[in-house]
């Protein structure tokens, strides 16, 4: 297979983890006889500094030309601490999602037995947890009408039937391929938009008679994720709720550095870690590259290359079992490996597998 991948390293630790994601991708392609080419582009604060736009047109065109995008992270404290800033790195991420029509964000939450001790939750709660959160990505408050002045502000949580139907369809199809259990997360007791979500989900459920469909208010879902994470198989929800719940999922695995994601829709799919840019760690070779590397696994699997994706997952598990880990997930007393060293170890494991 020929793959042309757009690489968007972004800000902070992005370039460091991106380098390891590319290295692993190249190693897998060489192993399986695929050809791969890369085209790099700027985004986020890096792009603001260069051209004044967090997602320049040239970057957009680079993404459109590619088969897939391997994205890392955006964000910079210069903008986080300035509420008056009119242009922000995160606007580039939203522009990319909107421009590419990436309406479905797929975030798996899976535990690693050797890292259970890193979770703040009890072993017997999180061991064996394995579910997917599907977040609607181009609607809701993040894209609705908004207003702000010195005395008032509002954001509009707008959703249309087609937007809701297409993301629910993704949820039902994923549930059908897994354990056939779909949980629709909303706030239908309060929000009109959530009541429309629930209404449409109830209308669609008979089309998937093999899937058990249930409904849960978002506050209850947030609590249930921590009390009984093994209850979930596939959950689907709107943009804002999904943003919060998927970050909460890091409490189950023990580190955000372990969570990959895929964003799919109308055009080029994007594969990225769920964590941010961690600018304080930039250039220190301490960032965990595993979420970026596992995002590369999701990239291969998206194109039906299951063996390639599985090899990456096996390599990641092997590195964890061998205690080849960055500082935040290393066991006490064991040597800490850097971003490059972890990535290089995984590349060598793949090459020798």
Cα 343 to Cα 252: distance, rounded to the nearest angstrom: 24
Distance between alpha carbon 210 and the CA centroid of its chain, in Å? 28
Catalytic residue of the set 142, 159, 174, 208: 142
- 3-state SS assignment for residue 221: helix
Catalytic residue of the set 49, 130, 155, 247: 247
Query: Which one-letter DSSP state was computed for residue 329?
Result: G
With 0-12 / 13-18 / 19 or more C-beta atoms within 10 angstroms meaning exposed / middle / buried, residue 101 is: middle
Cα 160 to Cα 240: distance, rounded to the nearest angstrom: 16
Contact in structure between 245 and 186 (CB atoms under 8 Å): no
Catalytic residue of the set 187, 208, 233, 337: 187
Decide if 142 is catalytic: yes
Cα 284 to Cα 338: distance, rounded to the nearest angstrom: 8
Q: For residue 171, give the H/E element and its range.
A: helix 161-177
* Cα-based distances in Å from 23 to 3, 65, 146, 346: 14, 21, 42, 9
Decide if 243 is catalytic: yes
Decide if 53 is catalytic: no
**Residue reference for tokens 């060293």:** 341
Catalytic residue of the set 113, 219, 266, 321: 219
Catalytic residue of the set 53, 186, 233, 243: 243
Cα 121 to Cα 249: distance, rounded to the nearest angstrom: 11
The count of C-alpha atoms lying within 13 angstroms of the C-alpha of 82, restricted to the half-sphere facing its C-beta, is 11
Q: Record the tokens describing residue 207, joined without a space.
A: 């089309």
Decide if 31 is catalytic: no
The β-bridge relationship of strands 181-186 and 2-10 is unpaired
Decide if 247 is catalytic: yes
Cα 141 to Cα 127: distance, rounded to the nearest angstrom: 34
With 0-12 / 13-18 / 19 or more C-beta atoms within 10 angstroms meaning exposed / middle / buried, residue 343 is: buried
First to last CA, the chain: 20
Catalytic residues: 142, 187, 219, 243, 247
């Amino acid at each position: 297979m020929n793959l042309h991948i757009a690489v968007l390293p972004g800000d902070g630790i992005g370039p460091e983890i991106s380098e390891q994601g590319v290295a692993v991708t190249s190693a897998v392609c060489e192993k399986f006889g695929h050809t791969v080419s890369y085209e790099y582009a700027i985004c986020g604060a890096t792009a603001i500094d260069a051209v004044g736009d967090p997602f320049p047109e040239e970057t957009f065109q680079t993404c459109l030309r590619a088969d897939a995008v391997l994205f890392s992270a955006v964000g910079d404290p210069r903008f986080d601490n300035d509420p008056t800033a009119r242009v922000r790195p995160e606007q580039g991420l939203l522009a990319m999602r909107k421009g590419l029509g990436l309406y479905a964000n797929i975030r798996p939450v899976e535990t690693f037995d050797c890292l259970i001790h890193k979770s703040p939750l009890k072993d017997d709660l999180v061991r064996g947890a394995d579910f997917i959160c599907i977040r609607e990505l181009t609607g809701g408050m993040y894209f609705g009408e908004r207003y702000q002045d010195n005395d008032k502000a509002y954001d509009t949580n707008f959703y249309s039937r087609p937007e809701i139907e297409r993301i629910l369809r993704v949820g039902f199809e994923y549930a059908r391929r897994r354990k056939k259990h779909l949980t629709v997360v909303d706030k239908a007791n309060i929000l009109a938009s959530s009541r429309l979500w629930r209404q449409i989900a109830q209308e669609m459920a008979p089309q998937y008679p093999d899937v058990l469909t249930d409904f849960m208010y978002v506050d209850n879902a947030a609590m249930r994720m921590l009390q009984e994470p093994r209850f979930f198989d596939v959950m689907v929800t709107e943009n804002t709720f999904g943003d919060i719940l998927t970050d909460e999922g890091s409490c189950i695995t023990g580190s955000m550095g372990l969570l990959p994601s895929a964003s799919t829709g109308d055009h080029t799919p994007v594969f990225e870690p769920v964590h941010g840019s961690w600018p304080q760690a930039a250039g220190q070779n301490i960032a965990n590259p595993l979420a970026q590397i596992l995002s590369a696994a999701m990239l291969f699997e998206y194109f039906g290359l299951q063996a390639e994706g599985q090899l990456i997952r096996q390599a990641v598990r092997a590195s964890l079992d061998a205690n080849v880990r960055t500082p935040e997930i290393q066991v006490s007393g064991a040597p800490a490996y850097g971003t490059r060293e972890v990535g290089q170890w995984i590349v060598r494991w793949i090459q020798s597998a």
